[in-house]
C-alpha cells in the first residue's frame, strides 16, 4: 500500500540512520527477543516476487525483520514452499536455493516433506497477488484461499495431525467459504489466524480504546481499491470497535453509498462530518474535509471510486468506513465516546517502503499463536470483515444498495494482543 508521505519517510529514515537511532532500535529489539528454538513452518504462496505479500512476509523469516540477516528475527524456520505461479520476476527459486528451503510440487508435500507425517509446526497461506480470474458480477479477485486451506486440511486428515494455520488478508472472496473455513478449524481443533496488518501496525498517536467503553459513533477513512484496500479499512475499523461495551455484536445491515449518495448520507446524519474531519487531521499533509467532492474525483476503474460503507451493528451502533479516493492516501480512525465532546482519533501508519516493517507484526502474532496453541486475536474479526466486504462488493455492483445481513450475527470480544507501538509491545522496530 503506497504511503501518503513516502518522500517524508525516506528523508526521516536517512536522518535516523545518520543519527544512529536505527541501531538503538535494533539493539533494543534484539535484547527483547527471547532465545528459543526456531519452529519449522511451510508457506503456501500464489506468487513470489519483490514487494509481493510473500516477499514482505516470508522473506522476513529467511532474512530477519530488517532483511539484513541479523536479529531481531522471528523464531521460525522456513523448511518448505509451495509456489503456485511463476511470476516474471520470481524470487522464490533463488531464495530457496540460498536458504536451503524445499520447493514443493504440492501443498501436501510442503506440509509433509513427502512423508506420512506433518513435518511443520505451522502453515502460512499467502494467496495474494498472481493471475486469477474475477467473479463475473462483483469483480472480486478469486484468490485460492479456500483451496489452499482445504488441501491443507486434507493433509491434516490424512496424517491425523493438525497445526496452526495463518491466512493472509480476508478469508475468501465468498462469504460461504469463509464460514466453512472457520467451522472446519473449530471442528478439527486447530488455531486459525487471519487478517490484515492494519490492526497491528503503528498508531499515531497511540490509541487503545478502553475495554468496555461506550462508543456513540465511529468512522474510518481508507483509500485505494474498494476490495483490496477496503478490507484493510474494515479490519482497522473493527479492531477498534470490538473493544466497546459487550464486545462486537455483529452487523445487521450493510449499505454502500456511491457518487451523490455519499454526501446525501452524510447530510442525512448517517455518517459524521465531524468524525471525518477528525480522522482526516490524523493523516500527513494539509487536507480539508469540506472541500472533498466525491463527484469530481477521477478514477480509472469503478473498483477504485469513492465509496462509503455504512454498517448497522446489532447492538444499535451505527458506524462508517469512507473510502476517500482523491483525498486520502492512508488509513485513520475517529470515534466519540459517551460523555466526551472531543473525538478520539489516530492514524494507522504503515512503512510502505524498504522492509515494509508493519508486516513483521503478522509473523510475531503467528509465532505466538503456534507457541501458545491458540489464536492470539479472534478469527471472528476477520470472519466478520470478510462477510461485510462481500456484501459491500455486492452493493458496489448494484450501484449502491442496502442489504440486510442476518448471516453476520457474529458476536465476539477482543483479546489483549497489542500493536506495534503499544506500551507493552515486545517487538520494537523502526517505522521512519
CA distance 122 to 44: 11
pLDDT of residue 358: 98
Alpha helices in 100-140 (DSSP H): 107-112
CA distance 333 to 33: 31
Cis ω for the linkage preceding 205 (within 30 of 0): yes
pLDDT of residue 217: 98
Please compute the mean of the pLDDT values over residues 410-428 and round it to a whole number.
97
CA distance 176 to 338: 36
382: how many CB neighbours lie within 10 A of its CB? 27
pLDDT tens-digit readout, 34-54: 578 999 999 999 999 999 999
Average pLDDT, the chain: 93
Beta strands in 93-214 (DSSP E): 102-104, 122-126, 165-168, 192-195, 202-204
pLDDT of residue 34: 56
pLDDT of residue 18: 34
Q: What are the structural domains, with CATH classification, of the chain? A: 26-195 (3.40.50.720), 200-354+382-408 (3.30.360)
Please compute the mean of the pLDDT values over residues 311-324 and round it to a whole number.
98
Instruction: Using pLDDT thresholds of 50, 70 and 90, give the confidence band for residue 279.
Output: very high
pLDDT of residue 260: 97
3-state SS of the chain: helix, strand, coil percent to 5?
35, 20, 45
Using a pLDDT cut of 90, give the percent of the chain over it. Answer: 89
pLDDT tens-digit readout, 110-160: 999 999 999 999 999 999 999 999 999 999 999 999 999 999 999 999 999
pLDDT tens-digit readout, 45-93: 999 999 999 999 999 999 999 999 999 999 999 999 999 999 999 999 9
Beta strands in 350-404 (DSSP E): 402-404
Which tops the pLDDT comparison, 17 or 422? Answer: 422
Please compute the mean of the pLDDT values over residues 385-412 and round it to a whole number.
98
Taking 70 as the threshold, does the pLDDT of residue 430 lie above it?
yes
Taking 90 as the threshold, does the pLDDT of residue 290 lie above it?
no
How crowded is the C-beta side of 25, counted as CA atoms within 13 Å?
Answer: 18
Nearest Cα to 379, choosing from 222, 233, 166? 166
Taking 60 as the threshold, does the pLDDT of residue 33 lie above it?
no
Question: pTM, whole model, 2 decimals?
Answer: 0.92
Beta strands in 47-177 (DSSP E): 76-83, 102-104, 122-126, 165-168
Taking 60 as the threshold, does the pLDDT of residue 19 lie above it?
no
Taking 50 as the threshold, does the pLDDT of residue 311 lie above it?
yes
pLDDT tens-digit readout, 367-392: 999 999 999 999 999 999 999 999 99
Amino acid at each position: 500500500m503506497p504511503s501518503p508521505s513516502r518522500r517524508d519517510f525516506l528523508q526521516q529514515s536517512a536522518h535516523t540512520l545518520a543519527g544512529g537511532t536505527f541501531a538503538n532500535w535494533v539493539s533494543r529489539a534484539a535484547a527483547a527477543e527471547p532465545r528459543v528454538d526456531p519452529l519449522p513452518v511451510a508457506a503456501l504462496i500464489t506468487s513470489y516476487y519483490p514487494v509481493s505479500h510473500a516477499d514482505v512476509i516470508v522473506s522476513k523469516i529467511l532474512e530477519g525483520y530488517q532483511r539484513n540477516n541479523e536479529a531481531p528475527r522471528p523464531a521460525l524456520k522456513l523448511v518448505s514452499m509451495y509456489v503456485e505461479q511463476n511470476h516474471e520476476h520470481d524470487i522464490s527459486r533463488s531464495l530457496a536455493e540460498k536458504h536451503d528451503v524445499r520447493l514443493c510440487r504440492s501443498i501436501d508435500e510442503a506440509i509433509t516433506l513427502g512423508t506420512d507425517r506433518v513435518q511443520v509446526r505451522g502453515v502460512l497461506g499467502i494467496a495474494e497477488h498472481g493471475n486469477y480470474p474475477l467473479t463475473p458480477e462483483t469483480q472480486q479477485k478469486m484468490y485460492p484461499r479456500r483451496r489452499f486451506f482445504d488441501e491443507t486440511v486434507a493433509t491434516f486428515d490424512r496424517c491425523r495431525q493438525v497445526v496452526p494455520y495463518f491466512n493472509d488478508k480476508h478469508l475468501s472472496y465468498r462469504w460461504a467459504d469463509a464460514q466453512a473455513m472457520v467451522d472446519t478449524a473449530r471442528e478439527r481443533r486447530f488455531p486459525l489466524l487471519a487478517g490484515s496488518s492494519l490492526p497491528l501496525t503503528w498508531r499515531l498517536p497511540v490509541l487503545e480504546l478502553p475495554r468496555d467503553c461506550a462508543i456513540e459513533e465511529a468512522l474510518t477513512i481508507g483509500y485505494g481499491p474498494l476490495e483490496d484496500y477496503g478490507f484493510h479499512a474494515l479490519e482497522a475499523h473493527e479492531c477498534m470497535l470490538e473493544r466497546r461495551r459487550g464486545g462486537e455484536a455483529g452487523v445487521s445491515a450493510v449499505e454502500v453509498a456511491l457518487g451523490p449518495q455519499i454526501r446525501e448520507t452524510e447530510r442525512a446524519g448517517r455518517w459524521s462530518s465531524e468524525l471525518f474531519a477528525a480522522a482526516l487531521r490524523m493523516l500527513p499533509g494539509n487536507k480539508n474535509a469540506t472541500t472533498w467532492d466525491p463527484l469530481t474525483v477521477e478514477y480509472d476503474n469503478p473498483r477504485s471510486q469513492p465509496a462509503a460503507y455504512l454498517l448497522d451493528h446489532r447492538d444499535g451502533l451505527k458506524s462508517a468506513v469512507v473510502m476517500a479516493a482523491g483525498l486520502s492516501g492512508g488509513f485513520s480512525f475517529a470515534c466519540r465516546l459517551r460523555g466526551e465532546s472531543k473525538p478520539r482519533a489516530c492514524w494507522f501508519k504503515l512503512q510502505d517502503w524498504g522492509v515494509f516493517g508493519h508486516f513483521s507484526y503478522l509473523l510475531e502474532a503467528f509465532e505466538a499463536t503456534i507457541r501458545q496453541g491458540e489464536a492470539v486475536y479472534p478469527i471472528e474479526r476477520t470472519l466478520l470483515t470478510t462477510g461485510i466486504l462481500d456484501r459491500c462488493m455486492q452493493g458496489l455492483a448494484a450501484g449502491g444498495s442496502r442489504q440486510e445481513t442476518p448471516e453476520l450475527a457474529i458476536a465476539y470480544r477482543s483479546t489483549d494482543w497489542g500493536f506495534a507501538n503499544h506500551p507493552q509491545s515486545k517487538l520494537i522496530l523502526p517505522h521512519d
